[in-house]
Amino acid sequence: MPDDRKPGEYVVIRHKPGRRIRRTLILLVFSVVSAVGGYMAGMARDGFRFSNVVETRNNLKQELSALRAASATARQKLINLERGQSIDQQALKQARQAITSLETRNSELEADLTFYKNIMAPSETTEGLQVDRLSLQPSRGKRHFDFKLVLTQVGDNSSYITGLVAVNVIGDQDGEKQVIALRDLSEDIENLGVKFRFRYFQDVEGELVLPDDFKPVEIQVVAQAKGSKATKVERTFDWSSLTEK
């Protein structure tokens, strides 16, 4: 086909300098999300609650190491892109969000690793039955909360520990102090004392609903072990500390 252009003519081609960088950022986001997704899929496949705590701890170490490496690589790529030419702000925002998500997962893994480490290698003052932690998350309504209580047996895990744990929510109602048993706030709890039996740890979880005129102040947890490992452990949690964001 003959070329109709005259000598000296120029062809204008639209140049999009941000396209290549945007593609790089999308790949970066995909890589980070894939790393987090791979971790979650692995935990779903293997089950988070292993009976072998040592194996669980080792798995967490490996996952944490991999996520730290992915986070460092992603952050360095982001720094390099920010130092370059102007890039699409939306793509940059997505990359930052992905890195934040990865770093949050790292923190969660470190907390889980510490949890298992404390069970297997306790200090002198933390052996035996322990009220390890209590968490609250807003649920379906303003006064609905999902709760999760974790009991642990620290140190000697060669045999099971059994007993009962009672939870009370303490607060103000019509200007007077009130103590309400968890059983009266949650359909998931049938008795005043919840039975437990475990070697390493056990969760007590469900949903609680506060009365409209009740202002919670703190949650009291009392765990009583029976038999040869008979012991009583009490711990009080501040409501505002559990619910603040």
SS3 1: coil
Burial of 3 (0-12, 13-18, 19+ CB in 10 A): exposed
Q: What is the pLDDT of residues 25-44, one digit of tens each?
A: 555 655 655 555 555 555 44
- Using a pLDDT cut of 90, give the percent of the chain over it: 35
Handedness of CA 89, 93, 94, 99 (dihedral sign): positive
Is residue 137 pLDDT above 70, yes or no?
Answer: yes
User: In the predicted model, what is the mean pLDDT of the chain?
Assistant: 77
The more confidently predicted of residues 133 and 9 is 133
Cβ neighbours for 201, distance < 8 A, ≥ 6 positions apart: 119, 132, 150, 151, 152, 153
Question: What is the reported pLDDT for 159?
Answer: 87
The more confidently predicted of residues 193 and 59 is 193
Is residue 143 pLDDT above 70, yes or no?
Answer: yes
Q: What is the pLDDT of residues 75-122, one digit of tens each?
A: 777 777 666 555 567 777 777 787 788 777 777 777 767 766 666 665
Question: What is the reported pLDDT for 13?
Answer: 46
Question: What is the reported pLDDT for 15?
Answer: 46
- Residue 3's pLDDT band, with cuts at 50, 70 and 90, is low
Handedness of CA 154, 159, 160, 163 (dihedral sign): negative
Q: pTM for this structure?
A: 0.56
